[in-house]
Structure 1
Amino acid sequence: MEGMNGRSVRGVEGYTRWSLISLAVGEPVLLWLLLHTLHDGGSALAGPGVAVLAVLVLAHTAACIHAMIAALRRVDPDRGRRGLLPLAATTAAVLVAVVVVLPLDGPAEPVLASIPRASAVAVIGLATIGALSARWPMRILAALTVVVLALVTLTQLGSRIGGIIYLLPAYALVLVSMIASFRLTVWLLEVVRELEVSRESHASLAVAEERLRIARDIHDVVGRGLSVVAVKSELAATLASRGDERAEREMREVRQVAQDSLEQVRTLVSGYRATDLGTELAGARAVLDATGIRVTVTGSADGASPAAQDALGAVVREAVTNVVRHARATWCTLELGAPGGRGAPGVEDGEWCLVVANDGSRGDGAGPGTGVDAVVPGNGLRGLAERLTPLGGTLTTTRSDGVFTLTASVPSRETA
């Protein structure tokens, strides 16, 4: 399940939902085929009765779909049982209609059409148990299976009981296979949801830990200085009220402590702001991996000047943020080229080059002639371009065939 993200969760939810719904939709189709076979075989069917049966079958199908969707919602499983009453009511009504409308016997071929009532009860029971299989305990599903098998047998008593011999084993096998398949699919969905919750919790914990670290640093640096300022200010006020000349000395010391604390805060903040490009690339890999995007990082920042690392590190942060928040990417590559190495088109020798590409572009790629579009930069990209310009660097973005590419370059030496 590595690389699972929100899109994957929605994909598994959609697959599970439509797998269950397809079974419910199969109920009216199978019953229509049964009625069609009976009609072609010469069985006399009352028009109003068939119409009522058709309406009840559609109502039962809707109740099955409602029960399935309710069971798959990300809420308390007990809420998934709210659809039980309409499901039970429509099941009972359609079973009564089957007994009243359909004949006991049908054409000799095929076998299932020869026992129309039993076949219809089997189809209705299959859809009903399928609607309940997502959440209900296995012992209840097993009991319902026995009940349905008994109803299938009872509806055929007195005529062509031999056809049941073929129907019951096959029906039991289909039921067991269906229940096992749907239970496995729902279990997979729950695992995917738990992985998504775990990923979100991990990200929240990482943010909380970083906040605690910053809070500790600020407490150690600022708290100590403010404590000294408070004590000495109170002492200076007491001395001043007595006319003691030492009050002036205490206030000078308060000023010195305040200036020292301010300098320490500036040093602390500059330490937070100092950018290590290698660390930024590693962080980008971790962030993209955590969101389920395949990421490839190539190149080394060894030898890059602090200014180049700071500028390109900002590009990495902004590019990765855009990929995570705004793109629907499945892969992303970050390629760092050193001066004198293979760079991107338009990048001169002697420049550090960073190329970030991903397949999350939603543009139409209708550029004239070449199929390549220039991209109108947003505030973040415009700010990066303004940050690179004083260093003699450049920032370009293109979109081609659904691939968005950002290219940033910075001279290996700072410009004067």
Structure 2
Amino acid sequence: MKGLRGVIGRVRGWRRGWHERSKLQRIDLYTRVTLCSITWFFGVSWGLLPLGDALDGGPLAVSLAGAFLAANIAQSVLSNRNLAPAFDDYRGTEPFPPGRLRLPAALQVVMTGLLVALAAVGGVREEGLVLLVLDLPVAFGIPYVLLVTVRRFLLRSAAYSAAVVALLAAVGVPGRLLFGAVVALVVVVLLVLVSARPSVWSLSVMWQAEEARDMQARLAVAEERLRFGRDMHDVLGRNLSVIALKSELAVELAQRKNPSAVDQMVEVQRIARASQQEVRDVVRGYREADLPTELMGARGVLQAAGISVTVEGADGPAGIGAPAAVQAALGWVVRETATNVLRHGDPRHCSIRLARTRDAVVLEVENDGAGSTDPLGGGGDGGGSGLAGLRERLGALGGAVTAGPVGDDRFRVTATVPLTASRPDPGGLPVPAPAPDEPPASGGPTASGSGGQPVPGSGGLPAASPPSLDPSALPEER
């Protein structure tokens, strides 16, 4: 009973490990296992069955057959061990150690000699000889075809085939069996070539595409950091220069006991508060998720992963005047659900639906590959961090999110956000969302002087023009 439980546990572990792999990792594993299996398939079927004829050929034939079988098994084991380094060498990630081919090459020579000896003592029948010739180069050829060019592989295979046929002819094998051996060698060489090399080539192309996508993502992050730095410099550079200049002026005025120093420090205080508000606006713009952008990004990412996507009502919130806070909250839902569908599920289709009721906007994200797995990282009770984070984010706006299976291996996430939701202010106080026809309120205090008119892009704050150090405004030096 314990043994059965252990077997079941291992099977479940293999199944869990398979589902935790990405699609490209699954293709990689499938290709490697297939190529390793081909070696054993040839050895068990075409290599093992003809050796039964040796039982009627006497002790010498039985000994030769046993030695051929042992060498064939050893060659298959070495072939499977050399396949991974051959993969890496073909992809250019790590060179194949030349010394690892010495033992397989020696075993190939031994197997060829044993086959010729079996044919010489009559230890194998006519059909069996052709099958053994067909099995002879498979184990050595699968990793070797990845290490050399196609032209070199074909030339060396032709030379090896000619040597095998010549040795068989030398021990008296009839001409019709020699013709069968030639056909078998041609077929198996071409089979090894078209089964191993194209599979690894397509796999290497997919890995290169994956690495290119990763590099593109890293470059996008670096570009975003640079853009953020430029924005912060544009926001703070001018105001900090003005603050420094006005502080110098205030010091000069204070040293001369001029009451205008107080006015200059008040202006410094105003500019500092304005700068603080501008920084908040910049940070808020980076932290909020834009719903149309997130919908477009989710569709592109899911379609790139081979998942068909339908989006219904995508232009609804943007066109019907939903507040920016509502769009930002739903953008986070789209981002989180799309990411976790790719991470935890294996769907074929995903649908995103947006609808507006009288006082709320409803977003539904449904896919058909989740099964019993919560794509938000937890069960429907909110145990997962993804679902908990969305509930906290929407709860701050008076909204709600629910998630759970809906039958037929489908999983649905439903988010509802009222149209009267208020967006949280970075300073901690909730700020009511602007009405659809009302321009957003300007952030920060308003003050007159040193500019007067708001500057576009500065959050509605008056421009702080650098003061001029007018000598007539200062007392004369004594």
Q: Same fold (TM over 0.5)?
A: yes
In structure 2, give the amino acid aligned to 1:84.
L
**1:93 CA drift (Å):** 3.3
Instruction: Note if contact 1:304-1:412 (Cα within 8 Å) is conserved in structure 2.
Output: no
Please name the residue that 1:3 is paired with: none
Task: Determine what percentage of the aligned residue pairs are the same residue.
Answer: 34
**Would the alpha carbon gap of residues 181 and 390 (structure 1) be closer, same or farther in structure 2, given more than 3 Å must change?**
closer
Instruction: Note if contact 1:298-1:334 (Cα within 8 Å) is conserved in structure 2.
Output: yes
Question: Structure 1: which 5+ residue stretches go unaligned?
Answer: 1-5, 340-348, 366-372
Please name the residue that 1:368 is paired with: none
**1:122 CA drift (Å):** 5.1
**Would the alpha carbon gap of residues 17 and 352 (structure 1) be closer, same or farther in structure 2, given more than 3 Å must change?**
same
Residue aligned with 1:78, SS: coil
For structure 1, which segment, 387-396 or 125-134, has the greater mean C-alpha deviation from structure 2 after superposition?
Answer: 387-396
Please name the residue that 2:93 is paired with: 76
**Would the alpha carbon gap of residues 23 and 381 (structure 1) be closer, same or farther in structure 2, given more than 3 Å must change?**
closer
- Say if 2:212 is the partner of 1:198: yes
Instruction: Note if contact 2:35-2:142 (Cα within 8 Å) is conserved in structure 1.
Output: yes
Q: 1:163-202 maps to which residues of 2 (within 5 A)?
A: 163-202=177-216
- Say if 2:366 is the partner of 1:352: no
Please name the residue that 2:29 is paired with: 14
For structure 1, which segment, 246-255 or 148-157, has the greater mean C-alpha deviation from structure 2 after superposition?
Answer: 246-255
**1:121 CA drift (Å):** 5.1
**1:381 CA drift (Å):** 2.1
Superposition TM-score, scaled by structure 2 size: 0.71
**1:364 CA drift (Å):** 7.2
Please name the residue that 1:311 is paired with: 329
**1:62 CA drift (Å):** 0.9
Instruction: Note if contact 1:396-1:406 (Cα within 8 Å) is conserved in structure 2.
Output: yes
Which of the numbers 30, 37, 59 marks the counterpart of 2:53? 37
- Say if 2:173 is the partner of 1:160: yes
Instruction: Note if contact 2:51-2:124 (Cα within 8 Å) is conserved in structure 1.
Output: no
Q: CA RMSD in A?
A: 3.2
**Would the alpha carbon gap of residues 204 and 250 (structure 1) be closer, same or farther in structure 2, given more than 3 Å must change?**
same
Instruction: Note if contact 1:70-1:81 (Cα within 8 Å) is conserved in structure 2.
Output: no
Please name the residue that 2:401 is paired with: 395
In structure 2, give the amino acid aligned to 1:72.
F
- Say if 2:411 is the partner of 1:404: yes
Residue aligned with 1:337, SS: strand
Post-superposition CA distance 1:251-307 (Å, at most 9, x none): 333323212212222333344455543233222223333444432211132214214
Q: 1:106-121 maps to which residues of 2 (within 5 A)?
A: 106=122, 111-113=126-128, 116=129, 120=132
Counterpart-to-counterpart distance in 2, 1:104 and 1:291? 58
Counterpart-to-counterpart distance in 1, 2:307 and 2:99? 38
Which of the numbers 378, 390, 395 marks the counterpart of 2:384? 378
Please name the residue that 1:95 is paired with: 112
Counterpart-to-counterpart distance in 2, 1:395 and 1:264? 32
Counterpart-to-counterpart distance in 2, 1:85 and 1:158? 27
**Would the alpha carbon gap of residues 401 and 80 (structure 1) be closer, same or farther in structure 2, given more than 3 Å must change?**
farther
**1:243 CA drift (Å):** 6.0
Counterpart-to-counterpart distance in 2, 1:108 and 1:311? 76
Counterpart-to-counterpart distance in 2, 1:245 and 1:56? 102
Counterpart-to-counterpart distance in 1, 2:365 and 2:209? 28
Please name the residue that 1:323 is paired with: 341
For structure 1, which segment, 297-306 or 58-67, has the greater mean C-alpha deviation from structure 2 after superposition?
Answer: 297-306
**1:35 CA drift (Å):** 0.7
Residue aligned with 2:332, SS: helix
Post-superposition CA distance 1:336-386 (Å, at most 9, x none): 1222xxxxxxxxx65422111224435279xxxxxxx84434344234334
**Would the alpha carbon gap of residues 294 and 211 (structure 1) be closer, same or farther in structure 2, given more than 3 Å must change?**
farther
Post-superposition CA distance 1:45-70 (Å, at most 9, x none): 43444433322221111111222222
Count of aligned pairs between the two proteins? 388
Post-superposition CA distance 1:186-239 (Å, at most 9, x none): 221111112211222222232222222221111100122223323443454466
In structure 1, give the amino acid aligned to 2:102.
L
Post-superposition CA distance 1:134-191 (Å, at most 9, x none): 2321232123212221222232114134021222134213312431332221221111
In structure 1, give the amino acid aligned to 2:108.
T
Instruction: Note if contact 1:149-1:168 (Cα within 8 Å) is conserved in structure 2.
Output: yes
Post-superposition CA distance 1:302-354 (Å, at most 9, x none): 21421432332232223223324444444322111222xxxxxxxxx654221
Instruction: Note if contact 2:134-2:184 (Cα within 8 Å) is conserved in structure 1.
Output: no
- Say if 2:38 is the partner of 1:23: yes
**1:72 CA drift (Å):** 1.6
Residue aligned with 1:79, SS: coil
Which of the numbers 281, 302, 306 marks the counterpart of 2:295? 281
- Say if 2:234 is the partner of 1:217: no
In structure 2, give the amino acid aligned to 1:334.
I
Residue aligned with 2:22, SS: helix
Instruction: Note if contact 2:119-2:171 (Cα within 8 Å) is conserved in structure 1.
Output: no
In structure 1, give the amino acid aligned to 2:361.
W
Instruction: Note if contact 2:243-2:271 (Cα within 8 Å) is conserved in structure 1.
Output: yes
Counterpart-to-counterpart distance in 1, 2:173 and 2:63? 27
Instruction: Note if contact 1:333-1:356 (Cα within 8 Å) is conserved in structure 2.
Output: yes
Residue aligned with 1:357, SS: strand
Please name the residue that 1:207 is paired with: 221
Residue aligned with 1:104, SS: helix
**Would the alpha carbon gap of residues 126 and 309 (structure 1) be closer, same or farther in structure 2, given more than 3 Å must change?**
closer
For structure 1, which segment, 190-199 or 396-405, has the greater mean C-alpha deviation from structure 2 after superposition?
Answer: 396-405
**Would the alpha carbon gap of residues 50 and 170 (structure 1) be closer, same or farther in structure 2, given more than 3 Å must change?**
closer
Counterpart-to-counterpart distance in 1, 2:127 and 2:212? 49
Q: Which has the higher contact order (CA 8 A, sep 6+)?
A: 1
**Would the alpha carbon gap of residues 119 and 354 (structure 1) be closer, same or farther in structure 2, given more than 3 Å must change?**
closer
Instruction: Note if contact 1:362-1:402 (Cα within 8 Å) is conserved in structure 2.
Output: yes
Which of the numbers 149, 173, 178 marks the counterpart of 1:137? 149
Counterpart-to-counterpart distance in 1, 2:371 and 2:255? 72
Counterpart-to-counterpart distance in 1, 2:288 and 2:124? 85
Which of the numbers 239, 243, 259 marks the counterpart of 2:273? 259
Please name the residue that 1:342 is paired with: none
**1:247 CA drift (Å):** 4.7
Question: Structure 2: which 5+ residue stretches go unaligned?
Answer: 1-20, 423-431, 433-478
**Would the alpha carbon gap of residues 158 and 319 (structure 1) be closer, same or farther in structure 2, given more than 3 Å must change?**
closer
In structure 2, give the amino acid aligned to 1:159.
G
In structure 2, give the amino acid aligned to 1:69.
A
In structure 2, give the amino acid aligned to 1:311.
A
